[in-house]
Amino acid sequence: MFVNQVHNGGMETLDNAAPAADTCCTPGAGPVIDEQEAQRKARILKAFADPKRLQLLSIIKAGDSAETCVCNLTEPLELGQPTVSHHLKILVDAGFLTRRRRGTWAYYSLVPGALESAAAELVDL
Amino acid sequence: MFVNQVHNGGMETLDNAAPAADTCCTPGAGPVIDEQEAQRKARILKAFADPKRLQLLSIIKAGDSAETCVCNLTEPLELGQPTVSHHLKILVDAGFLTRRRRGTWAYYSLVPGALESAAAELVDL
DNA sequence: CTCGTGCATTGATGGATGTCGATACAAGGA
DNA sequence: TCCTTGTATCGACATCCATCAATGCACGAG
């Protein structure tokens, strides 16, 4: 099924005289992340890859008491309340926000150091 | 149309005796990124939010000569050649890879400091 | 207990995106 | 010149995702 690695189909004249005429480059033997690790990192980074979620994090980060309820988030984002709750759930599941109910209101706050660790995942992949 | 900010519908007994019985929280007056800036950051981060692209970057980063051709990328990712070219184009357009043709082969290399600047976009949003 | 309010969940839908097969382009060799 | 090989692009398809309207749930007030 796979016919990728057939670079020289029966080439006999090469032997070892030609230095590297038909090899494109050395494959590189350094450590490479596997598929599972790549999926884990991608799942984390996907939580940030949305403009509305970035604005959510920015607003919550700029909050005075480091706690923000949903009613203060629907208006500046120009989104419906269900959509805001949806984005907040994604950020909570990704481990970047914590949710705390007080009365009928739900307050969200940043998890300390979560952004920094996510950024570290990017640099040393 | 918008009926969000009508928290107290004709509440007269509150005056200023009750501290903050029906206000959920202070809106927070800190600086917040606008929609345009959020879209710019999201476009950058979206380039990373894919496991195959993360593996691509990892392989290229681990390459000895810091240059890798496409033929060395299709096999470890278990993807077809058009798909690999598609991902590479996304990473080039995002400014994280540079492309250089030598003969019939195309070599890709990491842009120095690109990952670090992208990580910085995450921390100080 | 009933009502009202803030928030979460569900179902549906339009748009974005990853993947592949087919094809076109570029460059070197016969 | 024609042919071969590596790469990029195109068209199509399947899936994912952001969004909304409708509904359900939790909690406080009366």
Indicate the domain borders of chain B: 35-123
- Measured from Cα to the C1' atom, the residue closest to D9 is B82
B32/A5 CB distance under 8 A: no
pLDDT at B22 over 70: no
- Residues A22-42 as b/e (b if ≥16 CB within 10 A, e otherwise) read ebbbebbeeebbeeebbbebb
Residue from the list B39, B55, B72 with its beta carbon closest to the beta carbon of A25: B72
* Surface of A (8-67) touching B: CB under 8 A: 24-33, 35, 38-39, 41-42, 45-46, 48-52, 54-55, 57-59, 61-65, 67
C-alpha dihedral, B66 to B69 to B74 to B77, nearest 10°: 10
What average pLDDT does range A56-79 have in this prediction? 87
CATH class of A51-123: mainly alpha
Give the pLDDT of residue A65.
64
- Residues B31, B72: Cα–Cα separation, whole Å: 46
Q: Is the CB of A76 under 7 A from strand D?
A: no
Q: Which CATH architecture has domain B35-123?
A: Orthogonal Bundle (1.10)
Higher-pLDDT residue of B62 and A53 is: A53
Whether residue A1 is predicted with pLDDT greater than 90 in this model: the reply is no
Is B74's Cβ below 8 Å from some Cβ in A? yes
Residues 38-67 of chain B sitting with CB below 7 angstroms of strand C:
46, 49-50, 52
Question: In this structure, which amino acid lies at residue A11?
Answer: M
Contacts of A30 in chain B (CB under 8 A): 61-64
What pLDDT band is residue A125 in, cutting at 50, 70 and 90?
confident
The residue with tokens 């690999």 is B84
pLDDT of A64 reads 64
Q: Give the best-scoring range by mean pLDDT among A27-36, A62-71, A114-123.
A: A114-123
- What residue of B is the nearest CA neighbor of A74? B4
Record: contact B72-A28, CB cut-off 8 A: yes
User: pLDDT class for B35, splitting at 50, 70, 90?
Assistant: very high
- Find the residue closest to D5 using CA and C1' atoms: B104
3-class SS letters over chain B: CCCCCCCCCCCCCCCCCCCCCCCCCCCCCCCCCCHHHHHHHHHHHHCCCCHHHHHHHHHHHHCCCCCEECHHHHHHHCCCHHHHHHHHHHHHHCCCEEEEEECCEEEEEECCCHHHHHHHHHHCC
The answer to whether the beta carbons of residues A75 and A119 sit under 8 Å apart is: no
The yes-or-no verdict on residue A6 having pLDDT over 50 is no
